[in-house]
A and B are shown apart, each in its own frame.
Chain A
Amino acid sequence: MFEVAFSSLLSRRGSVALTLASLTISMAIVIGVEHIRAQAESSFVRTVSGVDLLVGARTSQVNLLLYSVFRIGNATNNIEWQSYEDIAARSEVSWSIPISLGDSHSGYRVLGTNDDYFQHYRYGGSEALRLAEGVPFSNPLQAVLGSEVANALGYSVGQEIVLSHGIGNTSFVNHDEFPFTVSGILATTGTPVDRTVHVSLQGIEAIHLGEGSGTNGLNASEQLAGLEVDHITAILLGLNSPVAAFGMQRAINNYPNEPLSAVMPGVALAELWQIVGTLENLLGVISILVLTASLLGLSTMLLTSLRERRRELALYRAIGASPLFILLLIELEALMITVLAAGLAYLMVAAGFTVAGAWLSETYALVIEPWPSTPGIWLYILGAMLAAVVMTLIPASIAFKKSLAVTLQSA
């Protein structure tokens, strides 16, 4: 029956190819959407772990989450250094990581922080950051690179790099006065950390310093010695007890000296996921509708072919085929097209994400594995096959009924 179905499809390759193309595209949409969803969700959840509160200038919790964890967008305002010291000194606080954002290097975000970052930052399950090479920075002009930064720009430990102000990669304020030295490179985490250039908080000030340096008459080392950190962008807090998070959150939101926001990463992630999730459900529904339309096209193609195959189907019966054979033959043809379409669609999605992977990760901070392999994907593919079988029941059962009683005739 396999040989018959295959040759039959081959003999109608024109309409079969068009149906196959339509089915391949719609299945690629379904697989692609599901793949992005799964990948986005997992990279989302993996990004930050163990942080009890995120603290920044007063803003929405999603915005705070986006810039402090995902390094997307900008802070509405800075936090006074004094506020950081006040908060970090509270008894509930187990550890704190100050971060200062705002600059870029070749399109990668530059983040100012201190040793606490390397000690306390967790991602994935609760994995600590690990240096693949070198050591953490120990002076204002040293930098630790995320693995993707080092890979993409071809940097190695000991190399001198220039960090500029602003977040574009074509900034014209490009001062060579304070070249930074790469002191270490982090192991790959699969999170925004990979796309970050880490320097000390003083290092961030040093970059800013470069802007007006020509006028104050001091030489570089004198300027560096006088660096003081006045502002940071956000704080990641670890508490002694997670239960304390609510009280701590209230205290920070009511901080008297400046307007601050404290959010729980889990709550903010859920809210952000809800926003993304609505879009995603919509995409999911659309992709399933597109697939349904294609499957109807497949069914239509097979139904139309029945007229021209009337004598062929009668001949199967003449040489001993049962009506069930006719039904199964039509079903098998549909299934062969669907399986082929699924295979092609899978390859198409993998090829697409292989090509677009770098762009997605730079533009949307989405790290997407090229080969979809989540159970959801297989479920969708299986579902599509099942749907194909069910929809093909329309032409197949018509063929079945027509071949129940057949007059064997020549003309």
Chain B
Amino acid sequence: MQAINIHNLQFTWPGADTPLLHVSELTVEAGEAVFLKGASGSGKSTLLSLLAGTLVAGAGTIEVLGTSLHTMSSRQRDRFRAEHIGIVFQQFNLIPFLTVLGNLRLAARFAKRTQEFSEDRAVNLLESLNLDSSLRNRRADQLSVGQQQRVAIARAIINEPEVLLADEPTSALDADAKEQFMELLLSIREMTGCAMLFASHDDALSAAFDRKVSLAQINTAQLVSASHV
């Protein structure tokens, strides 16, 4: 089964004349780690939002884990996202006024997995991400940026998602922390076997991935609009 399958996707902002995205084909196999290269403003975040289902495409199909997103109701998409898709951003990954545990518990809650959620499991997860378990009751906004990004990984995989989306997750980190973060992220992938779509402008990070895709190459939106002129 493919983790992600995009076919003839087209997305136009309401009120805009020309589409921002037009992707005829993009596939991520189950367990595959794909590096999506894209400059800022190239529509990376929009593409990830479409995959996560917080934005809805105007045309084309997006299948995640074999399920077409636009056949679902908005409520089903929210539930699907909570259960099957983990997301890590550049920053602001955590609710700042909740504790580390509170953030993890909230993520479990949206996936209706509060039964499975336990403090022990959360602490194990934190420790496997090189986070001291004493941080669990610390408010998220009291952590260092590096710690926050690692808690963000924990938050993203707490519900054991099959798909992990990452949007420039290392941009706010210094070189050492960046390296450590990438190592953790890829070890997580080995540990959980989830598919990964990692969007970044930084080519240097692409080496560790199975495959590299350039958004500029697969997005034909500009060409389409140009041909209309």
Contact = CB atoms under 8 A, between A and B. Distances in A.
A319 interface: yes
Interface stretch (B87-95, B204-212, B216-224): B87-95
Centre residue among A3, A322, A325 by max chain B CB count within 10 A: A322
A408 B45 contact: yes
B137 to A, nearest CB: 12
A186 B79 CA distance: 72
A410 B45 contact: yes
A322 B97 contact: no
Q: Which of B54, B90, B97, B110 has the most CB of A within 10 A?
A: B54
A7 B54 contact: no
Contacts of A311: 92
Contacts of A10: 97
Contacts of B106: 4, 319
Interface in A42-75: none
Interface residues of A, number: 27
Contacts of B97: 7-8, 10-11
Contacts of A8: 97
Interface in A302-343: 311-312, 315-325
Given A311-B92, A409-B45, A409-B167, A318 B54 contact: yes
Given A8-B97, A406-B55, A410-B168, A315 B92 contact: yes
Contacts of A408: 45, 48-49, 52, 54, 87, 89, 167
B130 interface: no
B60 interface: no
Given A320-B107, A411-B90, A312 B102 contact: no
A407 interface: yes
Contacts of A325: 110
Nearest to B158: A319
Interface in B163-178: 167-168, 171
A95 B92 CA distance: 85
Contacts of B171: 410
A117 B94 CA distance: 77
Interface string A386-411: 00000000000000000011111111
Interface in B21-59: 40, 45-46, 48-49, 52, 54-56
Contacts of A404: 74
Interface string A73-117: 000000000000000000000000000000000000000000000
Given A408-B89, A410-B89, A4 B54 contact: no
Contacts of A11: 96-97
Chain A interface, DSSP helix/strand/loop, else mixed: helix
B188 interface: no
Contacts of B82: 319-321
B44 to A, nearest CB: 9
Given A320-B82, A408-B167, A410-B168, A312 B96 contact: yes
A7 B98 contact: yes
B102 A320 contact: no
A145 B52 CA distance: 81
B81 interface: yes
B111 interface: yes
Interface in A364-388: none
A374 B46 CA distance: 57
B160 interface: no
A325 B95 CA distance: 15
5 contacts: A4-B106, A10-B97, A408-B49, A409-B89, A410-B45
Given A408-B167, A410-B91, 8 more contacts: A4-B102, A4-B106, A318-B81, A320-B111, A325-B110, A407-B54, A409-B49, A410-B171
Interface of B: 40, 45-46, 48-49, 52, 54-56, 74-75, 78-79, 81-83, 87, 89-98, 102, 105-107, 110-111, 155, 167-168, 171
The 3 closest A-B CB pairs, nearest first, are A320-B82, A410-B90, A320-B110
